[in-house]
């Protein structure tokens, strides 16, 4: 992700989620999707995070930024 290999990062993160559901991976995937302009996919990942951490205001702020 940090090297600019966005498509490869998406494949790796998706594979990691197939192995184990992990909130940090959902977070990274939302960032990558947003950077690719895939806003609905990024929003879906953030929804997963918001359900797991409903008191985390930062997630909702990111969701609002994606939705606008």
Enter the DSSP assignment of 4: S
Q: How far is the C-alpha of 15 from the C-alpha of 68, rounded, in Å?
A: 29
The length of the chain in residues reads 68
pLDDT at 13: 96
pLDDT at 4: 72
Catalogue all structural domains in the chain, each as residue range(s) with its CATH number. 6-67 (1.25.40.10)
pLDDT at 3: 72
DSSP string across 35-67: HTT-HHHHHHHHHHHHHH-TT-HHHHHHHHHHH
pLDDT at 34: 95
- pLDDT tens-digit readout, 39-60: 999 999 999 999 999 999 999 9
- pLDDT tens-digit readout, 2-51: 677 899 999 999 999 999 999 999 999 999 999 999 999 999 999 999 99
């Amino acid at each position: 992700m940090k090297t600019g290999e966005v498509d490869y990062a998406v494949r790796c993160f998706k594979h990691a989620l197939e192995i184990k559901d992990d909130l940090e991976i959902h977070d990274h995937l939302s960032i990558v999707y947003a950077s690719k302009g895939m806003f609905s996919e990024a929003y879906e990942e953030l929804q997963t995070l918001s359900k797991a951490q409903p008191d985390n205001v930062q997630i909702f702020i990111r969701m609002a930024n994606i939705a606008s």
